[in-house]
Amino acid sequence: MSIIKDASLASSGRKKIEWVRASMPALTEIEKRFEKEQPFKGLRIAVSVHLEAKTANLGLVLAKGGAEVYLTGCNPLSTQDDVAAAVAEMGVETFGIYGVSPEEYEELLVKTLECRPHLIVDDGGDLINLLGGRCKEYAENLIGGCEETTTGIHRLKAREREGILPCPMMAVNDAKAKHYYDNKYGTGQSVWTAIMDTTNLIVAGKTVVVAGYGWCGKGTAMRAKGMGANVIVTEIDPFKALDATMDGYQIMPMDEAAKYGDIFVTVTGCKDVIVPRHFKVMKDNAILCNAGHFDCEIDVAALRKMAVRSEERRNNIMGYELEDGRILNVLGEGRLVNLACGMGHPAEIMDMSFAVQALSLNWLVKHKETLTTKVYDIPDSIDDEIGRCKLAAMGLKIDELTPEQQAYLSGWDVE
């Protein structure tokens, strides 16, 4: 049933999967438990996450837990064809091809949902969008699902408010293991790895404009500063702006920052963050990229219309020449730069995020009789289990509260 580009690429993909599995100890421990307990026996799980090696490992772990897994991507430019071939060869039904059109991408999602899943893993809300619309008939068996990213959580909560959420959903992005670790350190490293590999330019001495100072923005700004950049942060939230200034960054609106930036990174989860009035004042040869889930943060369509000429200057770099001769460079078509132009988050980072996914799916199955159609926070017990597992894998130990300390923190009549 799998739809992939080329089955002969599987050998390369297997090597990638084997490499990351060696650095994902938390998920390995969960896999051992799942293989013994078989929590997903008889269940079908549809997974729509960036289709690369770490995601393939998640799919294999769920399959070891007894599930029939149907795996697809969540972005046309983040699928790795060799990984898709490998995981399909390893027994997971896989629907993903790099560089497909938006229409072809949606058809791959639909094919994935034709299994009529009991559980879903979503990244950006594409599966939920289809299950609440075009693919309603495929939602008949749904127990619930998990959402990986900030933008997806926003959309789930909007659906919940309007009473059109198709099934109970777990807010994986809001887990401590996700935003403290994945969003900050994973995004911080993988964004700059992708930018540097794609451009072959230095970061030190440049002015970097980071739009948004949530967890992803914090990590992106921190790594830029660490490599010697002058960092400007733009924000709409006064307290995030204050946080950024206390961390040593300049704060200003994008209308002003647009004049100074050498490299722009949008990390807001919103649309129209960089628009034509900003393009008009940017430096010649400025670099624009997006680290938010969807490709609407930079108005690339408007830039394309403004340009008198465009050309691919390097792989994944499109240069747009404006009437006055300035050239603005867009990386990865304005899509998620760390995956459109790179390998995504490091394996150790995704180990924790995908451990949250796996344990949250298990939690949904255990509590299916009492669930209501709403967005659920990740239980502290899941976060704590993953955190302790990760510490143990790193050879680290921490203190534990004594019974007296627990009583002191939980009571009011204490000395």
Is 61 found in the same domain as 135?
yes
Is 101 found in the same domain as 63?
yes
Among 289, 305, 335, the domain boundary falls at 335
Residue 117, SS3? coil
Is 148 found in the same domain as 48?
yes
Is 135 found in the same domain as 60?
yes
Q: List helix spans (H) across 22-131.
A: 25-37, 53-64, 81-89, 102-113, 126-131
Q: With bands split at pLDDT 50, 70 and 90, how would you rate the model's confidence at 414?
A: low
Encode pLDDT of 201-225 as tens digits: 999 999 999 999 999 999 999 999 9
Is 151 found in the same domain as 27?
yes
Burial 271-309 (b: 16+ CB within 10 A, else e): eebbbeebbeebeeebbbbbbbbbbbbbbbeebeebbee
Query: How big, in percent rounded to 5, are the helix, strand and coil portions of the chain?
Result: 45, 15, 35
Residue 2 lies in a domain: no
Q: Is the pLDDT of residue 254 over 70?
A: yes
- Cα–Cα distance for residue pair 119/67, rounded to 1 Å: 10
Q: Are 220 and 191 in contact (CB under 8 A)?
A: yes
Is 163 found in the same domain as 129?
yes
Residue 152 lies in a domain: yes
As a whole number, mean pLDDT of residues 101-124 equals: 97
Q: Are 41 and 64 in contact (CB under 8 A)?
A: no
**pTM of the model as a whole:** 0.89
Residue 42 lies in a domain: yes
Is 313 found in the same domain as 362?
no
Is 166 found in the same domain as 306?
no
Residue 95, SS3? strand
Is 51 found in the same domain as 20?
yes
- Counting residues of the chain whose pLDDT is more than 70, the rounded percentage is 100
Is 205 found in the same domain as 164?
no
Residue 214's CATH number: 3.40.50.720
Q: Is the pLDDT of residue 320 over 90?
A: yes
Residue 402 lies in a domain: no
Q: With bands split at pLDDT 50, 70 and 90, how would you rate the model's confidence at 44?
A: very high
Q: Are 268 and 213 in contact (CB under 8 A)?
A: no
Burial of 156 (0-12, 13-18, 19+ CB in 10 A): buried
Domain that holds residue 293: 185-335
Average pLDDT for the chain: 96
CA 286 to chain centre: 25
Residue 103 lies in a domain: yes
Residue 104's CATH number: 3.40.50.1480
Residue 375, SS3? strand
Among 335, 366, 383, the domain boundary falls at 335
Encode pLDDT of 372-393 as tens digits: 999 999 999 999 999 998 898 8
Among 299, 316, 335, the domain boundary falls at 335
The two tokens of residue 6 are 């080329």
Residue 285 lies in a domain: yes
Is 26 found in the same domain as 162?
yes
How many domains, in total, are found in the chain? 2
Q: Beta-carbon neighbour count of residue 352 at 10 Å?
A: 26
Is 251 found in the same domain as 296?
yes
- Cα–Cα distance for residue pair 324/174, rounded to 1 Å: 45
- The packing angle between helices 81-89 and 10-21, to 10°, is 80
Residue 398 lies in a domain: no
Residue 400 lies in a domain: no
